[in-house]
């Protein structure tokens, strides 16, 4: 494919963006694709404004260099995108995008040099997680709710949160579970999970903890008369939206007077609890579906305050 097709920088970038996203759809989730598109479109917007404001009709992809990229960083800051972590995300996305263009254009034009000496250092913050007392409070509340005769949707949501608490799965992973992804295996239920990049892994649930709840759930699911493969469908048989579970969880935590939000906090909590139990880091990494053990180490293998106190 020719590097330039339309002779207008924004049109050529849009052309490459469409090709880039089509390839990424094979291995990335819908939410990731949307995020890629939004970030790259911001860069395309900047490129268009550079062409128009400078009255430079000859501005092209070939003019994208380090100084062009630094101008984009300043453009983000001028548009109230000032968080270093957010800016780094934009830069990382554009690196991937420009690598795709470099590898696929017939002119053998290299765009990767535009990122030389451009780095955004981000201080790694400790991921938010529930305290030990909050975990106990949440677990007790979930078990209490699951022992009640609730309507299908509420029972479904409580069961999903209980699975998140016990496995540290990502929100979209539990939402997209299919019925045949839940397999009885001796004293356990095995969960076949499709994670980021469609990478597959397995987690396990203790049957003694979940058997009664799954039996109750499937009894309620049967009354819905849904023709669906999803384990946790909505009323139309489709997967429930992430926002449905997110909002339900927000209300649930609020009732417990826990001022924390999000579904990913269950994942952070699970990981930290496993590290605190001195579990093997490689095992934790495989369980969580991290692409590299260094990710697990970077975010979770930090001493907590009690460990620090034990040093003295």
Per-residue pLDDT of the chain (312 residues; tens, 9 = 90+): 888 988 899 999 999 999 999 999 888 888 889 999 999 999 999 999 999 998 998 999 999 988 898 899 999 999 998 888 888 899 999 999 999 999 999 988 988 877 776 665 545 566 788 999 999 999 999 999 999 999 999 999 999 999 999 999 999 999 999 999 999 999 999 999 988 877 889 999 999 999 999 999 999 999 999 999 999 999 999 999 989 999 999 999 999 999 998 999 999 899 888 887 777 778 888 888 877 777 666 656 654 555 544 544
pTM: 0.64
On whether both 165 and 215 belong to a single domain, the answer is yes
Report the CATH number at residue 174: 1.10.443.10
Q: What is the DSSP letter of 188?
A: E
Give a yes or no: residue 226 inside a domain. yes
170: nearest Cα among 192, 188, 154, 193: 193
On whether both 150 and 86 belong to a single domain, the answer is no
Domain limits for position 261: 132-309
On whether both 254 and 151 belong to a single domain, the answer is yes
On whether both 106 and 157 belong to a single domain, the answer is no
d(CA 222, CA 196): 31
On whether both 61 and 184 belong to a single domain, the answer is no
Give a yes or no: residue 124 inside a domain. no
Interior CA angle at 33 toward 157 and 43, to 5°? 135
**Domain final position from 115, 148, 175:** 115
On whether both 140 and 96 belong to a single domain, the answer is no
Residue-wise pLDDT tens digits, 58-96: 999 999 988 898 899 999 999 998 888 888 899 999 999
pLDDT at position 287: 85
Burial 207-233 (b: 16+ CB within 10 A, else e): eeebeebbebbeebbeeeebebebbbb
Residue that is written with structure tokens 């972590």 in the block: 85
Q: What are phi and psi of 2, to 5 degrees?
A: -65, 145
On whether both 149 and 77 belong to a single domain, the answer is no
pLDDT at position 120: 54
Give a yes or no: residue 127 inside a domain. no
On whether both 41 and 161 belong to a single domain, the answer is no
pLDDT at position 183: 95
On whether both 102 and 159 belong to a single domain, the answer is no
On whether both 164 and 92 belong to a single domain, the answer is no
On whether both 150 and 271 belong to a single domain, the answer is yes
| Count of structural domains within the chain | 2
On whether both 228 and 274 belong to a single domain, the answer is yes
Contact 203, 188 (CB under 8 A): no
Residue-wise pLDDT tens digits, 268-283: 899 888 887 777 778 8
């Amino acid at each position: 494919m020719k590097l330039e097709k339309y002779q207008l920088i924004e049109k050529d970038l849009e052309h490459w963006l469409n090709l880039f996203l089509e390839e990424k759809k094979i291995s990335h989730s819908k939410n990731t694709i949307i995020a890629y598109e939004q970030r790259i479109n911001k860069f395309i917007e900047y490129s268009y404004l550079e062409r128009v404001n400078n009255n430079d009709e000859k501005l092209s992809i070939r003019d994208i260099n380090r100084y062009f990229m630094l101008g984009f960083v300043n453009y983000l800051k001028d548009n109230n995108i000032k968080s270093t972590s957010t800016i780094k995300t934009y830069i990382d996305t554009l690196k991937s995008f420009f690598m795709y263009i470099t590898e696929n254009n017939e002119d053998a034009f290299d765009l990767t040099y535009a990122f030389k000496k451009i780095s955004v250092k981000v201080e790694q913050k400790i991921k938010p997680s529930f305290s030990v007392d909050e975990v106990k409070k949440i677990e007790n509340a979930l078990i209490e709710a699951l022992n009640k005769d609730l309507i299908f949707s509420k029972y479904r949501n409580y069961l999903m949160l209980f699975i998140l608490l016990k496995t540290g799965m990502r929100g979209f992973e539990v939402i997209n579970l299919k019925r045949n992804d839940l397999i009885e295996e001796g004293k356990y239920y095995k969960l076949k999970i499709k994670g980021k990049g469609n990478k597959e892994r397995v987690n396990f649930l203790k049957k003694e903890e979940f058997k009664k709840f799954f039996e109750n759930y499937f009894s309620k699911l049967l009354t819905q008369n849904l023709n669906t493969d999803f384990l946790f469908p909505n009323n139309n048989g489709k997967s429930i939206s992430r926002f449905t579970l997110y909002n339900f969880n927000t209300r649930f935590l609020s009732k417990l007077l826990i001022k924390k939000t999000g579904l990913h906090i269950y994942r952070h909590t699970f990981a930290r609890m496993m590290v605190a139990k001195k579990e093997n880091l490689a095992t934790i990494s495989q369980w969580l579906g991290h692409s590299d053990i260094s990710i697990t180490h970077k975010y979770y293998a930090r001493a907590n305050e009690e460990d620090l106190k034990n040093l003295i």
